[in-house]
Amino acid sequence: MPFQWFAKTVQLASGSIIAGSGLMHQVRISPMFFPLVMIVQTAGKQLLVFGMLFLFLMLYGLYPGWHWVGLVPVIVTQLILTVVVSAAVAMIIPFARDIANLIPTGLQFVMFMSAVFYNTDIVPDRWRTVFFLNPMATLLEQYRVVLLDQQWPVWSSLGWVMLGSGLTLLVLLAAYRRLAPIYPRVVLE
């Protein structure tokens, strides 16, 4: 479910700046507004999905404990990562519209490289470091640790994803600020 949240958000946000071109020509608005709208929409829907997930976990005998509080930083980290990837993709697509056709394939590739369908224990030790460079693999592992293993998340792993996402977000905000005057012309082409 967390990967679906990520994938759906990136997919929806990817074309959001182009879709918002009409509004961009009527009102002075930051292009970052459009992917953020999609991110907030999918995050709101995901809250309901998490509620259903918690209900199913309790039906299967995995009751909440104090370690479930560790889900909050995992979810916040995923939200920031999702903002970064969605905003980056949405920023690029008006300049290279054909990339929009590659988004579903890229998301599918990331899904297979993130241990959605398999346990990370099967990844050989020599490749684990490389495998966990994928931030979604790290986040999915943290969800498993908290919800299934009923332990606290590995804070160092979560911290690296948060740090990388936070720094990338700062770069993206600067890029959006710089490109804001250009977008109204680019989306018309």
Tens-place pLDDT, residues 106-133: 988 888 878 777 777 777 888 888 878 8
pLDDT band, residue 189 (cuts 50/70/90): low
pTM for the predicted model, two decimal places: 0.86
Tens-place pLDDT, residues 29-59: 888 888 889 999 988 888 888 888 888 878 8
The answer to which of 17-26, 72-81, 156-165 has the lowest mean pLDDT is 17-26
pLDDT band, residue 86 (cuts 50/70/90): very high
Task: Write the burial class of residue 86 (CB in 10 Å: 0-12 exposed, 13-18 middle, 19+ buried).
Answer: buried
Q: State yes or no: pLDDT of 150 exceeds 80.
A: yes
Average model confidence (pLDDT) for the chain? 86
d(CA 3, CA 98): 24
d(CA 154, CA 14): 31
d(CA 183, CA 76): 29
Decide if 165 contacts 80 (C-beta within 8 A): yes
